[in-house]
Amino acid sequence: MADTPILPAHIEDTVRSIAELHVQHYRETSLYQRIIDGVTAQVGRPAFVGVVTAVIVLWTGCNLVLPLLHVAPFDPAPFSWLQGTITTAALYIAVLILTTQRRENLLAEHRAQLTLELAMVNEQKTAKLIQMLEQLRRDNPMIQNHLDPEAIAMSQPADPQAMLDAIKETHQEMLADEAQTPAA
């Protein structure tokens, strides 16, 4: 086994936090949901296609061969029992997939929320760094003092609500412009 590389403390903390998010998500999963996840995982394997194909071939083959042996087929052509079985299985598989996807979406929402919060904190830290650099520049007698409007603007933390409002307004304007543009 290869030696695990030593990571800086802040990276280890990040890795541990992400792992904890996944562990907590798993801990909050009920036994019923774990069973559904397991079944969905089995259905999602390539071997499942082979099993389904084999069952269909065996089913139809038996029902076609049995009359040749003078035995009544259990599901004669057009194989209505097979059709019903496949339809029922398809319904269950769809429900299994939707149930599993719903739970996985919760984890994705938690990750997205964490990413958004980290981005906002990083933006605030960056603005603070720019403020500190600008203050250092003004305080250092060796650096010529000049006004930098861009640095001043960047030193102000973004207002998330103002950004959201601007995005909504721009979206509305784009939709209005698109509605006014004649179709080609």
Give the pLDDT score at 141: 82
Q: pTM score, two decimals?
A: 0.58
Please state whether 70 falls in left (phi above 0), alpha (psi between -120 and 50) or beta: left
**What pLDDT is attached to residue 184?**
57
Query: What is the tens place of the pLDDT at every residue in 33-60?
Result: 899 989 999 999 999 999 999 999 999 9
pLDDT tens-digit map of 10-38: 777 777 888 888 888 888 888 998 999 89
pLDDT above 70 (res 81): yes
User: Residue 140's pLDDT band (boundaries 50, 70, 90)?
Assistant: confident
Q: Are the CB atoms for 43 and 99 separated by under 8 Å? A: no
- Give the rounded percent of residues in the chain with a pLDDT score beyond 90: 35
Residue 93 has pLDDT above 60, yes or no: yes
In this prediction, residue 70 carries a pLDDT of: 93
Instruction: Tell me the range of 28-32, 94-98, 117-121, 160-164 where mean pLDDT is highest.
Output: 94-98
Cβ(136)–Cβ(73) below 8 Å: no
Average pLDDT over residues 87-102: 94
pLDDT score, position 183 = 64
Mean pLDDT within 160-164 = 76
